[in-house]
Structure 1
Amino acid sequence: MDTARPVFPFTAIVGQEQMKLALILNVIDPKIGGVMIMGDRGTGKSTTIRAITDLLPEIEVVQDDMFNSHPSNIELMGNNVQELLKNQTEIKTKFIKVPMVDLPLGATEDRVCGTIDIEKALTEGVKTFEPGLLAKANRGILYVDEVNLLDDHLVDILLDAAASGWNTVEREGISIRHPANFVLVGSGNPEEGELRPQLLDRFGLHAEIKTVKNPELRVKIVEQRSQFDQNPYKCIDEYKEQQEILKQKIINAQKILPKVTIEYDLRIKISQVCSELNVDGLRGDIVTNRAARAYAAFESRYEVSIEDIRKVITLCLRHRLRKDPLESIDSGLKVEKVFSKIFQFNFSVEEISS
């Protein structure tokens, strides 16, 4: 009997297309750099984020390993497994669900990064490492709710680990380094304050979630939630086919992503948009290129089109326009206007208002 807590099906979530797309693109290509989801209370942010893990294929890990080490990829394995490989020791593996780790708001640096037992190291000469949340999140998703209320120092640590794929713990001259390759997902309510522009810029994508205004849509959302609460397994069963179709689409996209190309002319135009919007640094250019390729792969195509860039460019750039911490984040109109001018592409009235 399955004792796992039932999760609301991802394909049953009504609306919030920006947030769903941002999450899908990140699981197709984790190098996009995570996503920051800002929106009103009660708009299904946590539900959607937890639902994405059900769509991901199981991963092969080394048995009894604290870092969910990959059995053959050095970038995704701890030092112990590397030693076993060097010594040609047989490695036992198992398949697990993609880890989904929640970072509590009051977490300390030790809880996040892990700790070294100094006493044992000095008396017995043994490096004993107590893994933190970054170790548990390796090859998975690390979710930080209310990330805008988290201490800036901790946000820095998370972003550094997410960007490098490694976490280093140092204490009294003893150092331990382990893989921490995860998709960082942050969420928050803009009423409680925004992240500093320097930190915000390091999130690959930024999705803005608004409360649904359409009464019929609101009723549909409420009914779906009620049905799930009353009989979760029946609701999961109803969406089983749709979940499987989307799951296969994501698996296929992950496979073809390395073969997806983007023309030089389109790359030039992406950089023109970033330059005209006065985006600092080159992160905006890099992320837009990556996200456009991931979207093309999601649509089972090997070449990026203007339409693919249009779909992702607002998610990639809107949060990079804010230079002053007191400014509000662009709704996307500024990005769309410059994109239309450079790519000679016209947005419909409905698209702009949505």
Structure 2
Amino acid sequence: MIANPVKPKTTRRPVFPFTAVIGQEEMKLALLLNVIDPKIGGVMVMGDRGTGKSTTVRALADLLPEIEVVADDPFSSHPTDGDLQSEEVRQRLANGETLPIATKQVIMVDLPLGATEDRVCGTIDIEKALSEGVKAFELGLLAKANRGILYIDEVNLLDDHLVDVLLDSAASGWNTVEREGISIRHPARFVLVGSGNPEEGELRPQLLDRFGMYAEIKTARDPEQRLQIVENRTTFDNNPHAFLAAKAEEQAKKQSQIVKAQQILNEVNIDRDLRLKISTVCADLNIDGLRGDIVTTRAAKAYAASDGRKDVEVDDIKAVISLCIRHRLRKDPLESIDSGFKVIKTFNQVFGIEEE
């Protein structure tokens, strides 16, 4: 999802700026790292009601620069990157066609709680396919979210089968719809963000494990911080354009940081010794499978890239490891997810760091 440099956004509805979101550092960090490297696998955000989860996700989508797309392609295919192109676009390129190119804002798609599988995945018009001999496909939310952000509020209340479908598409980058012997496949590369309130039930461990990162957000308890949040929101609601203008420089800096990080990500190196220690932490914590090892390595590289560096350091790993593996710890069904204390304690032991 590498994007173009900053462009002014004057025609769209004002969105609360990402840099004005106070607190919720875990969530903001997890979202930024997933935007830098979507292969991290998305983020699950659990926290109290009214803590600005959806506001923060919308703010991130608005912060991202515009991306280049094939103008007449419904899947927002990339003009040159074959991994981000639909099969139709690939065929047109193979035929030597010159494709029209446009730019568009990175889209955020909200998945409604009562959505059906057809609404999510798309449907094939069998009657049209049989009568006209064409693959008539009605786009689903996965197609619209390609190269964007797919946000699911109250994901813990969503049908498990639908969550499986979403996670499969997020992991493979493709969505396949089959009906009556007709099959349509399209790219579905998106940053998957799920949120929920733990009071309304936890996600099954099998599904939770497939989210790359897990962030917890809590209601601010400090009166000064609460007041600042309320004042920011009130100022924005009273005069959004003036508020956005005041934050424009900060927004531009954050946007530039993301773009630069995306550009150097593939050049970031992590020493074998550090990778071995990451795996040692996961082994010592009895983490099932290898997702924890893989995601932590990816997140540490994205963290280094966000700081403009091409070599991962121990502090980069420490900053992300709790977000990547605490939801993968084996636990008693009656316990809540570890806050990260157990992970950091094991991390310090493996990396030989004295506990503060």
Q: What TM-score results when the alignment is normalised by the length of structure 2? A: 0.96
Asked if the contact 1:197/1:325 (under 8 Å) is kept, the reply is no
Which residue matches 1:205? Answer: 213
Q: Secondary structure at the match of 1:300?
A: coil
| 1:3 Cα deviation after fit | 4.0
Distance 1:266 1:116 in 2: 48
Which residue matches 1:233? Answer: 241
Partner residue of 1:304 out of 302, 307, 312: 312
Change (3 A) 1:335 1:222: same
Which residue matches 1:42? Answer: 50
Asked if the contact 1:250/1:298 (under 8 Å) is kept, the reply is yes
Segment drifting more, 299-308 vs 78-87? 78-87
2:188 aligned with 1:162, yes or no? no
Partner residue of 1:24 out of 32, 35, 45: 32
Which residue matches 1:351? Answer: none
Segment drifting more, 316-325 vs 104-113? 316-325
What is the identity, as a one-letter code, of the residue corresponding to 1:217? Q
- The runs of 5 or more residues in structure 2 that have no matched partner are 1-8
Which residue matches 2:277? Answer: 269
Which residue matches 2:226? Answer: 218
Which residue matches 2:115? Answer: 107
| 1:83 Cα deviation after fit | 1.4
Which residue matches 1:317? Answer: 325
Q: Secondary structure at the match of 2:65?
A: coil
Distance 1:73 1:6 in 2: 31
Partner residue of 2:349 out of 341, 345, 348: 341
2:65 aligned with 1:57, yes or no? yes
Distance 1:87 1:21 in 2: 43
Q: What are the residue-to-residue correspondences of 1:131-170 with 2, within 5 Å?
A: 131-170=139-178
| 1:64 Cα deviation after fit | 2.0
Which residue matches 1:252? Answer: 260
Distance 1:178 1:159 in 2: 15
| 1:323 Cα deviation after fit | 4.8
Write out the 4+ residue segments of structure 1 that deviate beyond 6 Å after TM superposition. none
| 1:25 Cα deviation after fit | 0.2
Distance 1:41 1:29 in 2: 28
Distance 1:65 1:227 in 2: 40
What is the identity, as a one-letter code, of the residue corresponding to 1:185? V
Which residue matches 2:198? Answer: 190
Distance 2:174 2:164 in 1: 14
Distance 2:254 2:354 in 1: 29
Distance 2:283 2:46 in 1: 25
Distance 2:275 2:58 in 1: 34
Distance 1:6 1:181 in 2: 26
What is the identity, as a one-letter code, of the residue corresponding to 2:246? E
| 1:324 Cα deviation after fit | 5.1
| 1:325 Cα deviation after fit | 4.6
Asked if the contact 1:162/1:181 (under 8 Å) is kept, the reply is yes
Q: Deviations over 1:234-283 (max 9, x none)?
A: 11111110111111111111111111101111111000000011100000
| 1:54 Cα deviation after fit | 2.2
Q: Secondary structure at the match of 2:147?
A: coil
Q: Secondary structure at the match of 1:169?
A: strand
What is the identity, as a one-letter code, of the residue corresponding to 1:255? Q
Distance 1:113 1:325 in 2: 32
Asked if the contact 2:286/2:330 (under 8 Å) is kept, the reply is no
Which residue matches 1:331? Answer: 339
Partner residue of 1:82 out of 83, 90, 98: 90
What is the identity, as a one-letter code, of the residue corresponding to 2:87? N
Which residue matches 2:188? Answer: 180
Q: Secondary structure at the match of 1:106?
A: coil
What is the identity, as a one-letter code, of the residue corresponding to 1:90? T
Distance 2:244 2:200 in 1: 34
User: How many residues align structurally?
Assistant: 348
Asked if the contact 1:196/1:325 (under 8 Å) is kept, the reply is no
What's the Cα RMSD here? Answer: 1.1
What is the identity, as a one-letter code, of the residue corresponding to 1:216? E
Distance 2:27 2:355 in 1: 20
2:41 aligned with 1:33, yes or no? yes
What is the identity, as a one-letter code, of the residue corresponding to 1:15? G
2:74 aligned with 1:66, yes or no? yes
Change (3 A) 1:64 1:347: farther
Asked if the contact 1:322/1:330 (under 8 Å) is kept, the reply is no
Distance 1:249 1:129 in 2: 38
Q: Secondary structure at the match of 1:168?
A: strand
